[in-house]
Structure 1
């Protein structure tokens, strides 16, 4: 229940803060959880309640909520150079070192990095880069961006147009020229009698038909998450990227890997594109880049796009785009420390925990009201269904996933409702004991809610 004490934290939050992506009936009924401090993978609220955060904050706090290495990196850099920009031929030494490191980590033998403050801004920047390039190379009509239904790419006007979610219609989005093709979720969208291989072939054929219908010379890029994150943790159908990449190459369309969630180890490899064995033309990064300790995003350009954009910029003497905090020295110092932690053991811990994580998901998926478990690395989802045999979802007005998430909160566990799914993406610092706690509390919540609605 909401805290009705005068001047309580949740009353103050309600009075002065506009909530984003928040179920307002839940706030009205339960109040706001105001977080005071972190303890490893746990958060502690202002009432002293402790929660295991199986969401890693928002996919990003992979090193936990009070990591001393990241705190020291920030403190040391603040004492040395507390802020600077990356305009006018000036940038910090930390920015230079991070760019070198990101290109080294990338699947590219060379390239360039452009910094933003978020993944949304990175996707927005990428589109501006492609539009700039099209005009500079005498193809001003090449402006259309293809993404997938259910994919998530951000909240700016451009990145929200890329996002294949129906809620963006309240903003009058997507803008013209943003095209959404089929979601590669075989369990949900495969046709009766269709094998997974046939499903993949059908999606590839749909993509090519869309390209031909729109005109190949009007399309600037195809942008895809290796695993759809905010779409409900949807790995691609088998062979998906191997089926679509030749089509894109044939029509001269860049393939951009949106690694905002997948990047820096979440899928078990450094990049999701490595997990699914494809090399994109550019990578969009954020979230685990700084382990959530500083707002930062990056566009990592492969050699071809890097060369072409550099040539186009030289022709007009600059690339006319940037942000005040792009390449912030403190953010870059934290990012270098975060990457050091991932390379120094956290990435290996993801791989070591993955079998136990998958086994826990599979065990809970035996419940008659869980239709599917899915995931890759330390990102997974359980899809709630009213009828398992027919894959029939619960009625929307039952708010089943929201109720499960609320019940989890009552048990001291933070997880995320997405559509009819419950999403788990625990921090990389977790142990098997943390996973056991997570699945135990989630199981209790599932039993409670399904007993109420099934």
Structure 2
């Protein structure tokens, strides 16, 4: 293992980059493709990562603005994590979770439970965020069946939400483009207004927006009937919806309505857990919530191994054990549930977070938010919002409209292209630029990131003016 850090991967981009592009266009189906390029598309090739940086197929070094997909929390090329993967695989690479178990999964469950709020004390492992949300929903259905409440199955979700790509989790998604061409379990899901103050209904003020959302929730429960609603699923901060920070106190008020009506509150922390907001879990530490379940993934291994899970209230499990159906089976599981390598990596990742990275994230987060907020001085920027080490720069070409113009749809890609040339990878979401760098980023690196983003937006404004499509 002495030479582990210097070992090049078998598909080193320096020699095989051209081959990879050719093979991708002939054989690889990328996620979220459009019909016109499905199975015939090559995307930006990334060959190496180190700290907060990645290197593309042309050898250009870039700041990893989105930290992969919100997940490279402790940074790229951490030898500690690579070593743990090797050592665990050499000891035990896999065991079936159907009738055996492994020690890393049990130890990780204890440590996760120690960080969870309220009485969340048990963990069911999955392979990622989508399967974590799917598991939480299936568990809700199962518990209501066991308790003789087979009609209590509807799920409340919100506009702007993103909860996954499996059938049931994707049905909760509230971004229009997610469902334009995809089917879903529409009969099981009720959508509520997005908790987005910037895009709130025109008749509602910022001051009264939380009251509006809470009253809408309350009326929905009354109209449908609490006896038919099994769960509410909500991200503390809507990540892929554009880093939507909800109004103060809104989530706690929704939690109280759920508790009063025996509706399970599922806090989807696939993005916000494991340091993105400076804590292992944000539900309790940041928002004062004690959910019935918390879903997690991404940062639990900092993206080094696919792992996710659900932390479940001990009360819910006790109710199951006391039911009149002791033989009722929760017929749900995955081949890689409790994977020993993934759990071992997560344990070491948690060590790194607890040994200073969480504290560092809390320390630099205010500077990160303050520096990005300066971009609001640019005419194209409508709002900069965020919390912790996640933020969104939303660009608006038409400030007199509550809906983005068609022109806005290409803005994010233009900014991303300019920033790539300047040394920053941006995750463009239509007209929004999402920033969620590795938690180890320094204030100096934040300055560099913001300077590149400012220049990328400025160049985009120049493009639009030269093309005569924007006069801002």
Once the two structures are TM-superposed, the CA of residue 112 in structure 1 deviates from its matched residue by 1.1
Deviations for 1:307-357, whole angstroms, at most 9, x for unmatched residues? Answer: 234455971164321111100111000001111111111111111111221
Distance 1:110 1:284, change over 3 A: closer
Deviations for 1:109-168, whole angstroms, at most 9, x for unmatched residues? Answer: 452110110110011111111111111111101111111111110000000001112222
Q: How does 1:396-415 map to 2 (within 5 A)?
A: 396=407, 399-415=410-426
Distance 1:452 1:307, change over 3 A: same
SS of corresponding position for 2:384: strand
Distance 1:29 1:409, change over 3 A: farther
> Conserved in 2, the CA contact under 8 Å of 1:282 and 1:302?
yes
Distance 1:73 1:391, change over 3 A: same
* More deviation, 150-159/45-54: 45-54
Match of 2:88 among 77, 80, 83: 77
Q: Which residue of 2 aligns with 1:232?
A: 242
Determine if the alignment matches structure 1 residue 360 to structure 2 residue 374: no
Determine if the alignment matches structure 1 residue 289 to structure 2 residue 300: yes
Q: Which residue of 2 aligns with 1:258?
A: 268
Determine if the alignment matches structure 1 residue 209 to structure 2 residue 219: yes
State how far apart, in whole Å, the 2-side matches of 1:26 and 1:359 are. 40
* More deviation, 181-190/152-161: 181-190
Determine if the alignment matches structure 1 residue 267 to structure 2 residue 277: yes
> Conserved in 2, the CA contact under 8 Å of 1:129 and 1:309?
no
> Conserved in 1, the CA contact under 8 Å of 2:25 and 2:40?
no
State how far apart, in whole Å, the 1-side matches of 2:423 and 2:63 are. 6
> Conserved in 1, the CA contact under 8 Å of 2:409 and 2:431?
no
Distance 1:239 1:398, change over 3 A: closer
Give the TM-score taking structure 2 as reference length: 0.90
> Conserved in 2, the CA contact under 8 Å of 1:383 and 1:422?
yes
* More deviation, 105-114/283-292: 105-114
Determine if the alignment matches structure 1 residue 97 to structure 2 residue 135: no
* More deviation, 116-125/399-408: 399-408
Q: Which residue of 1 aligns with 2:437?
A: 426
Q: Which residue of 1 aligns with 2:30?
A: 19
Q: Which residue of 1 aligns with 2:116?
A: 106
SS of corresponding position for 1:399: helix
SS of corresponding position for 1:217: helix
Q: Which residue of 1 aligns with 2:165?
A: 155
* More deviation, 221-230/379-388: 379-388
Distance 1:420 1:47, change over 3 A: closer
Give the TM-score taking structure 1 as reference length: 0.93
Q: How does 1:35-184 map to 2 (within 5 A)?
A: 35-88=46-99, 90-109=100-119, 111-166=121-176, 167-184=178-195
> Conserved in 2, the CA contact under 8 Å of 1:368 and 1:388?
no
Distance 1:6 1:383, change over 3 A: closer
Q: How does 1:343-382 map to 2 (within 5 A)?
A: 343-382=354-393
Q: Which residue of 1 aligns with 2:202?
A: 191
* More deviation, 174-183/371-380: 174-183
State how far apart, in whole Å, the 1-side matches of 2:187 and 2:104 are. 39
Q: How much is the aligned-residue C-alpha RMSD, in angstroms?
A: 2.4
State how far apart, in whole Å, the 1-side matches of 2:335 and 2:41 are. 39
State how far apart, in whole Å, the 1-side matches of 2:142 and 2:18 are. 51
State how far apart, in whole Å, the 2-side matches of 1:32 and 1:165 are. 23
Runs (5+) with no aligned partner, structure 1: none
State how far apart, in whole Å, the 2-side matches of 1:331 and 1:147 are. 30
State how far apart, in whole Å, the 1-side matches of 2:417 and 2:37 are. 8
State how far apart, in whole Å, the 1-side matches of 2:226 and 2:415 are. 45
Distance 1:394 1:25, change over 3 A: farther
Once the two structures are TM-superposed, the CA of residue 81 in structure 1 deviates from its matched residue by 0.8
Runs (5+) with no aligned partner, structure 2: 1-15, 465-469
Once the two structures are TM-superposed, the CA of residue 28 in structure 1 deviates from its matched residue by 12
